[in-house]
Amino acid sequence: MNIRPAIEADRASIEALIRTYPDQLAQDHLPDTAEFFVAEDEKGIFGCCALEVYSPKIAEVRSLAVKEEYRGKGVARALVQACVDRAQEKGIRQVLAITGALDFFDKLGFKAFQSEKYALFRTFD
């Protein structure tokens, strides 16, 4: 397994991977390709994750996707860690994740903000 920064030629593979999870990764906006890391082997790209920087203080780990047959092998962990490492290199002070996989992100050191349990959203039609 190789984890590397994405290049523009990876964009179609990233988009195809994300589209395989429409219920979990419903996104109107994808980060720029340069914000992604990809996991690949001799068969091609099988995982992706992006670090979207919002300010010098905060960035978000997002668009994490791993093909089903590669799950349980540490791919997601490695991709998130690559994003966290990039954030630290950039001097970002906080990295957030909006997720339903609370246990996974908890194991990686992500905690609820000031002991909050949920992010609440209000949607307008």
Tell me the CATH number at 48: 3.40.630.30
**pLDDT score of 30:** 87
Domain residue limits at 109: 2-115
Alpha-carbon distance values, 47 to 20, 26, 80 (Å)? 11, 17, 11
Let me know if residue 92 belongs to a domain. yes
Q: Quick check: is 10 in a domain?
A: yes
Is 62 among the domain residues?
yes
Number of domains in the chain: 1
| pLDDT at residue 124, rounded to an integer | 57
pLDDT digits (tens, 9 = 90+) for 58-87: 999 999 999 999 999 999 999 999 999 999
Which residues is 94 bridged to in the sheet?
58
63 located within any domain: yes
Residue 37: per-residue pLDDT: 98
- Is 20 inside any structural domain? yes
Q: Is the pLDDT of residue 93 over 80?
A: yes
Domain contains 105: yes
Q: Greater confidence, 112 or 82? A: 82
Tens digits of residue pLDDT in 38-55: 999 999 999 999 999 999
- Does residue 120 fall inside a structural domain? no
Please state the separation of Cα 45 from the chain's center in Å. Answer: 15
The amino acid sitting at 125 is: D
Whether residue 125 is contained in a domain is answered as no
